[in-house]
Structure formats: C-alpha cells, structure tokens
Amino acid sequence: MPAGTTSTVSAITRVKTALPVPPAPSSCAPAALEEAAPAAATLSILDRMTHAWMGRFTASVSPAALTLAWADWAIHLASSPGKQIELWQKGVRKTARLAHYAATCGAQEGAPRCIDPLPQDRRFEHPGWMKPPFNLIHQAFLLQQQWWHNATTGIRGVAEGHEKGVTFTARQLLDMISPTNFPLTNPEVLEATVNQMGVNLARGYRNWTDDVRRQLSGKGPAGVEDFRVGGNLAVTPGRVVFRNRLMELIQYSPSTGEVRPEPILIVPAWIMKYYILDLSPQNSLISYLVSRGYTVFCVSWKNPGPEDRDLGMEDYQRLGILDALRVINMVVPGMPVHAMGYCLGGTLLSIVAAALARDGDQRLASMTLLAAQTDFTEAGELTLFIDESQLSFLEDGMWSQGYLDTTQMAGAFQLLRSNDLIWSKMVREYLLGEREPMIDLMAWNADSTRMPYRMHSEYLRRLFLENELAGGRYRVDGRPVALGDIRCPVFAVGTETDHVAPWHSVYRARLLLDTELTFCLTNGGHNAGIVSEPGRPRRRHRLETIQPDQPYMDADTWMAATQPREGSWWPSWVDWLDERSGAPVPPPPMGCKEAGLPPLEAAPGTYVHMR
C-alpha cells in the first residue's frame, strides 16, 4: 500500500477511536441507524483530509470554484453568438492595428504606440521596448491582454463573482507569459547581459539559490537579518503591563512632562505583528503619539499555534479589546479611551464599540479606523477567494493543521499584485541580478503570523461572505449589534491604492454610522499609506468632517469635491484627537501594582518574538 494511503488510513483510525462510543441500540432504534452517525463523521473527515492534501498543490485555491467560474463563462459565451462576433471583430481590428503599427515603424522611427499600457503598468518603461522587434512584441502582448479582458467581461448571464474570477485568472496567466519575464524578449535584460558580459545572470543565479536555501531553512529574505525587533525595530520605551493567552498589553513611557488625560489604545490586526506602528524611530506612529503628549497602550497579539485552533472572534473581543480596556481603566481610572484599530483590528474594534454602545457603556472617547472595513460589499479582489466552495476548501486546509499558515496568506496577497510582488521582482533579482535593499517595512512584512482555524473561518463567513455586521445580524453575547448605535466621534482613514481594504469599502462606514465621522483619504497603499510620517516626500491626504445630518455623497464624488492637503495625515489626526481631549495632566503610573498588575518585562515583550 502506498505511504500516503497508509498515513490516511491510520489518521482515520485515530479519529475513529477518539469518537464518542454510541449508546446501546434500543428496541425501536436499529443498530444500523445507531452506527450511521459515527460512520458519516469518519467519511466526512476523509473528505476534509483530501481537500487539505489538495490544497498543498493549489495554494489553497478551490479547483471546484475555478471550474465552476470557467464553466459558467464558457457556457454563456458558447450560447452568445453576438458576443462571439464582437470578439472576432475586435480580434480582426487589433490585428489590423498591429499591422499598421508595424508598417509605420518601418517607415518612421519613433512611431507612437498603437496601445499604451495601463497607468499602473510600469513593465514597458525601458527605452528598449520602443525599438524593433521589442516594440512589436510588447504591443502584440498588450493587444492580446486587452482582447482577453473583453472576452472575459460583459457576457450576459455570467454571475458577477464568476466573471471576476475568470478575469482575475486570465490576468494571472497573461502576467505569467509577459515578454518581460523572459531574457530573450526583454530588451532591458539583453542590454544588461551584453554590457555586463553575463555577470548579471550569474548574480541572479546566486540570488535564486540563496532564496531557495533561505526558504528551505525557514529563514527570512535576504537582508532581514539586519533588522531586529527590540534592536532597531520596535524600540519605543515601554513595559508590558498585562498578559493573557492571546495578547500582551504594552504601556509606553511618557516623553513629555504632562499628557492628555485620555489614553490611546491601539488594536493592530492579528494577521500582522503590531510593530508596523513602531518601526524605526523616525517612522514610528507610536513614538509620534507619545511625543505629542499621549499615554499610549498597544495590543501585541500572540502568534497562534495548533493548540489555539478553537479561539474564535468572541475570544479576540474578550481577551483582546475588552481585557485591554479593563486594564487601562485600572491604570487610568475614570477616563474614556481613544481607541484605534488597524485593518482587522479596526473591524474587531468597531464590533466591540457597537456592543458597548448597545449596552450603554461609554468607555470610548473616540474611535479611529485605519484601513478597516465595516461593510464588505466592495471588499475588492480578496472576495474572489471567498465563496462557499472556496471557504469550505480553505476551512478544510486550516482544520487539518489548526491554523492558516503564513505562506497561504502571503500567496493570496501577492496574487493581488502579481506584477509588482512576483514577476517584476523575479526579473529584477534573477535576470538583472539586482537585489532591492531591505528596509524596515519589508523586514516587518516578512515577519508574518498565523491565524486560528475557528477565528478565521468565522471572520470570513460572518463578515466577508454574509456581511453580517453591515446587515445588523452580527451577534455579540447572543444579541445583534449595529454600528448606528455608536455615538463617539469616528476618524476613518482609507488609502488610495489599497488592495487589501479598498478605500471605497472603508468609505462605506459613512452609510452605517450615525455619528460625527471624519474621513481621511491618503495616498499610498495598505501599509505605506498608513506608515506616513511627517516630512516624508510626496505625501498628501484629503480630510473632511461629516455630520450625521449631512446628505450622503458617494465616494468618487467626495474625492473630486475634497481638495488634497500636502503632507502626512498624522498631524491632522493628532489635531483631531487634541480637540476631543482634556487639558494635559501628570502622566499615570506604569501598570497598576495596587490591582495586581505590576509592570512586566520591557517592550516589545515576548509574544512579538514568537515564530
């Protein structure tokens, strides 16, 4: 018997022995029916193990989901003769355009291109792409790319999710075969190879072997060893003042003689290490807040393992935010808290804030949401990985190991920007032989975390798939919560090029909140747009405070009507906090010894070092 079959059978045997023994059959319940339940459970486990095994080869993407999407597209295209004729006509016209361009280039040097790349596509910027034969090669590719976009969209009857899935998959395949990815069809690579006599390819081979070695040994990318948490990252002085099985709460030491009486609680996403907000001293948001006279507390989440598989969303609410608020109320008694949540942490914070408001708890002075979604209707291309088929497949993979692995999450996010994060990087490092210098943000990005099976399944199903929070169906302690109950002022930040939490989705909080909302839109992406310290060049943001009685304005109209401001959004946010805070007072003590909460070890604590 093959080794894989032996391991599967033995695993099923172990599960069967762990199942509860059914009671003895009664006279009115045949023994066959009594044995049906454990037998069905065992067969279900076999299904889940099979899906988990398949996920190792498909990057946790459900083959059934892709097959359904392509079948939907193909069947409707096959029964749409008008669309077929349209695609045939477009193909003829594009061929004629390419032929005319070739003739023009033969008669005129520097002829204008017949199709321009999309604004965000920087693959063909090198001057060599305007010289033959590379001008024809890249123009033919762009025309083909445009034709496939036409072929995968606009077909009547295709489900919206299936259309997006087919378009996304087609784009991934085209990006894979782009002429930029091959030495003989990339003029920049050929030029470098000639000028350097092939040394660039030798460096690229060395870079590739180094990356393979690092991946096999579990090391981070090249250069990450120059950045150490607690050494040159996450160095803002502070102490851990509380620890439970899920998080450490860090209180930062004051750097001013007096502080605002209302403390700040920072809730990062558990998909990331908290120190993205405390990177190097010059770009640490936490250090900036401390320097502006605030007492800052920050949650540092534990990196979960198989033993944490049953931690759910309510555990993150209770052991995370609510425990943190309880401790802060002991350290700074009688004062409301400015709570800030980043990404998933902001979504969780909004749920807790709604529950507190529902119960008449007024512990929050304000709430700030950084690139955090509360309505997942426009959640971007991440929704391509979230339907019933895909979720079931992903759940089975997590079920087998107890958590969602770091490589699974990283792969999904890289696919959203495959040109920048996969193919362009490979061309630069393996064909041109150029290593991109490691920076603190890249080192943090390589320090990824896992997510517990139960929590991640609940998050994807209840929020992404069923959108329960926006629909008023999300339950906390058995009762639904509504964001419209929140009365504290809210500051929401979106980033213009966010591929994780698109700013249009973040802006939808305006539809759900019935309180003063200050919306800020900054340039940059999900991470670089937030880590945007004052003095950083080419920074801008838009800002408006919206009262609950103002008429609704859609996102694009709001953007067009709101003038950009030069510079970082950090000072605008702190000014907003100052207006909603009391006069400065002496700083509070570190921890609360009287309540049995003495300061523990120095920041950044122990959980942040967990691998």
Question: For 512, left (φ over 0), alpha (ψ -120 to 50), or beta?
Answer: alpha
In the DSSP assignment, the letter for residue 253 is P
Greatest extent of the chain over all pairs of C-alpha atoms, in Å: 95
As a whole number of angstroms, the distance between CA 286 and CA 266 comes to 9
Give the active site residue among 343, 488, 520, 592.
343
Residue with tokens 């052991």: 319
Which tokens go with 89? 């006509």
Return the bridge partners of 266, or none: 298, 340
Sign of CA dihedral 58, 60, 64, 70: negative
DSSP string over 318-366: IIIIIHHHHHHHHHSTT--EEEEEETHHHHHHHHHHHHHHHTT---EEE
3-state secondary structure 505-568: HHHCHHHHCCCCEEEEEECCCCCCCCCCCCCCCCCEEEEEEECCCCCCCCHHHHHHHCCCEECC
Under a CB-based contact definition with an 8 Å cutoff, are residues 491 and 347 in contact?
Answer: no
Are 123 and 180 contacting, i.e. CB atoms less than 8 angstroms apart?
A: yes
What distance in Å separates the CA atoms of residue 160 and residue 146, rounded to the nearest whole number?
Answer: 19
Looking at residue 499, the DSSP 8-state letter turns out to be S
Q: Is 592 a residue of the active site?
A: no
Q: Which pair of tokens denotes residue 479?
A: 């009762």
Dig out the tokens for 258 from the structure: 């007096």
Q: CA torsion angle for 537, 542, 545, 546 (degrees, to 10)?
A: -160
Tokens 């520097």 sit on residue = 110
Alpha carbon distance 514, 96 (integer Å): 56
Q: What burial letters (b/e) apply to 234-243, b meaning 16+ CB within 10 Å?
A: bbbebbbbbb
Rounded CA gap, 230 and 240, in Å?
13
Which residues are the active-site residues? Answer: 343
